Amino acid sequence: MPIYEFECPKGTVTERWVAMGTESISCPCCQKKAPKIISRFSFELKGGGWFADGYASRRPSGKSSDSR
């Protein structure tokens, strides 16, 4: 299950593991409806790690053959 962030009208952000497609939860602090927001953190971790790994594995091989 993915982790999503929800922000209530008061601005409190709650991270919660919910089923995919969950649009909103009730905020634990004020019990109001907190719609889902895009979590930038989890996107950067997944995309950055995947991208950096692919990039790093290509670069050294090209550089070493060039220096010789």
- Name the site residues for Zn ion (rule: CB under 5 A): 8, 10, 12, 27, 29-30
Cα distance between residue 24 and residue 30, in whole Å: 14
Least Cβ distance, residue 4 to Zn ion (angstroms): 16
By C-beta, is 3 or 30 nearer to Zn ion?
30
By C-beta, is 30 or 52 nearer to Zn ion?
30
28 closest CA partner among 7, 47, 46, 42: 7
Q: Which residue has the tokens 């953190």?
A: 41
Least Cβ distance, residue 46 to Zn ion (angstroms): 27
Least Cβ distance, residue 6 to Zn ion (angstroms): 9
What DSSP designation does 18 have?
A: -
